[in-house]
Copies of this chain bind each other. A is one copy, B any other.
């Protein structure tokens, strides 16, 4: 298990890479995202300190995701085949987050998803540009800006 330093903007993993690793963020901030057929980015998740970020859970598959650094970061790189007792709890946590994510995408409006995001990830929300939050929420930056503006005007 080695520890590496990555500069802001540096890419750790590209979609299609054969071997994906598990990255444990010691300090800084990483993200994972896809690029769809239209060339549009969709951020899948952010990973600040003490979070784990990794690709499609199955170690034998190719990567779906790009993973890069949004801030200068220090990262532990682990091999997926390394399996320890605690691993199961980590997997449960990831499934839990994913389930909630799908539910939100299906049942909440963009602005509701935004507010939930702000509440749940206050810290992250202050550290990434708004357009990245929009990407995470599954909407365009313009739509988010407008939604926020509309909200303000009502209050």
Contacts and interface: CB of A to CB of B under 8 A. Distances in A.
Interface stretch (A4-12, A23-31, A36-44): A36-44
Given A57-B92, A61-B96, A102 B36 contact: no
Interface string A108-140: 100000000000000000000000000000100
Nearest to A54: B95
B40 A102 contact: no
A106 B56 contact: no
Given A36-B108, A42-B107, A105-B138, 15 more contacts: A34-B103, A44-B99, A44-B103, A56-B95, A57-B96, A58-B92, A58-B96, A59-B92, A91-B91, A91-B95, A95-B98, A98-B99, A98-B101, A101-B102, A102-B105
Interface of A: 34, 36-37, 40, 42, 44, 56-59, 61, 64, 83, 87-88, 91-96, 98-103, 105-108, 138
18 contacts: A34-B103, A34-B107, A36-B107, A40-B107, A42-B107, A44-B102, A57-B94, A57-B99, A64-B99, A64-B100, A64-B103, A91-B91, A91-B92, A91-B95, A95-B98, A98-B98, A98-B99, A98-B102
